[in-house]
A = this chain, B = another copy of it.
Amino acid sequence: MSGNSFGNLFRVLTFGESHGHSVGVVIDGCPANIPISIEHIQRALNRRRPGQSLYTSPRDESDQLICMSGLEKGKSLGSSICLSVKNKDYRKKDYDELNDLYRPSHADYTYEMKYGIRSKSGGGRSSARETLARVAAGALAEQMLKFFCPKLEVIAFTQSIRNLSLKNDLLNVSKDEIYSSQLRCPDKIIEAQMKDLLNNVQKTGDTLGGVISGQIRNCPVGFGEPVFDKLEADLAKAMLSIPASKGFEVGEGFSSTLMLGSEHNDIFINKSNEIRTKTNHSGGIQGGISNGEHINFRVAFKPVSTLFKKQMTVNKFKENIPLKLKSGRHDPCVLPRAVSVVEAMAYLVLAENFLKYKARKLI
């Protein structure tokens, strides 16, 4: 109710300022007796961590996960699960100069207007560091879902950076192919071009945005709660809650507006005695409910707001002043790390919808 929690039956509540004591999450609603590997969660955190390549922030966040409650001997107890990470790379000075001014397109101004107070330094809750808690929760949700729906899987990857884009939907790409790419882009040729682009833009102190594709494979029929909690509505909220995201589309998305009904409709067919659709323009959801086809969606991320070139802005006294950040600990492009967050948020949506589905099915 004040924005730090997501979900009801599988509720996560995150906490932690980017330069405070810790960042973490409490997960309330995971069924008991589910095998949960902390190592699996740690690996997910490692993938999200900055400092892994030239293309992500050099800030060292080793992000050692602490399990404070809810798990014992590799299993969930049915109680609330608290996972946290200490903030150790705390370099307060970097930010001091910024306390009196509002960085363009950051949350400094809106936070201060809303709350009348700002975290001592850094972005507080608006920092990307907050997403660490989402990734931890998502990796736990993934394991819960694996227990009940072994084939269900979420895949996310970098679809485009600026105008460099994968040519088609990669329906069969594997997690390994994605994770082995620094930019989380499974096409090596495009990835090489993206790296060149990033290098060139980074030299000028500028930044880039792009699109992340998400796929939910083997989602059982029946997830999603019409009217207001349609599966795509839950996904849209989840994705638009990620820092820097500006758009979401499912299936054909905005392109569907250019199609005729007869082009867009997915004809039902009998396929090996199962009811399936011939095409999948709907993106695996009809009437807000999963139809058994793969769910695919895309999320738009704007270019990173933190530039290392001069910009004008105003300070608290409403004076126009120039802003030029020195050294950088920020990503020139959020996409490679955001892939983990998109994946995590999709798992959280699925965990919630699975439990809702389970609560009311007859058998």
Q: Which residues of B contact A4 (CB under 8 A)?
A: 26, 28, 79-80, 227-228
Name, among A238, A257, A274, A282, the residue most crowded by chain B CB atoms within 10 Å (CB to CB): A257
6 contacts between A and B (CB under 8 A): A17-B77, A77-B117, A246-B250, A256-B302, A259-B302, A358-B359
| B267 and A31 contact, CB distance less than 8 A | no
Instruction: Note all chain B residues with C-beta closer than 8 A to A115.
Output: 32-33, 77-78
Interface residue A266 (Cβ < 8 Å from any Cβ of B): yes
B291 in contact with A109 (CB, 8 Å): yes
Question: B5–A254 contact, CB under 8 A?
Answer: no
Closest CB in chain B relative to A239 CB, distance in Å: 7
> Nearest B residue to A348 by beta-carbon distance?
B228
Contact residues on A (Cβ < 8 Å of other chain), bracket: 35 or more
- The docked-state distance in angstroms from the alpha carbon of A210 to that of B21 is 41
A359 to chain B, nearest CB (A): 4
Q: Out of B21, B264, B318, which one reaches A270, CB within 8 Å? A: B318
Query: Which of A125, A208, A270 has most B Cβ within 10 Å?
Result: A125
Say whether B301 contacts A257, CB under 8 Å. yes
B contact residues around A229 at 8 Å (CB)? 2-3, 241
**Residue A52 CB within 8 A of the other chain:** no
Q: How far is the CA of A355 from the CA of B291 in the complex (A)?
A: 24
Nearest chain B residue, comparing its CB with the CB of A320: B270
**Chain A 170-193 interface residues, beta-carbon cutoff 8 Å to B:** none
Q: Which residues of B contact A246 (CB under 8 A)?
A: 232, 249-254, 256-257, 283
B15 engages A82 (CB within 8 Å): yes
A104 touches B289 (CB 8 A): no
- Scoring A residues 146 to 161 as 1 if CB is less than 8 Å from chain B, else 0, what string do you get? 0000000000000011
A336 touches B (CB below 8 Å):
no
Bound complex: CA A281 to CA B257 (Å): 23
Contacts of A268 in B (CB 8 A): 102, 104, 109, 312-314
Q: Which residues of B contact A306 (CB under 8 A)?
A: 261
Residues of B within 8 A of A130 (CB): 227
- A287–B241 CA distance with the chains assembled, in angstroms: 9
Q: Are A15 and B26 closer than 8 Å at their CB atoms?
A: yes
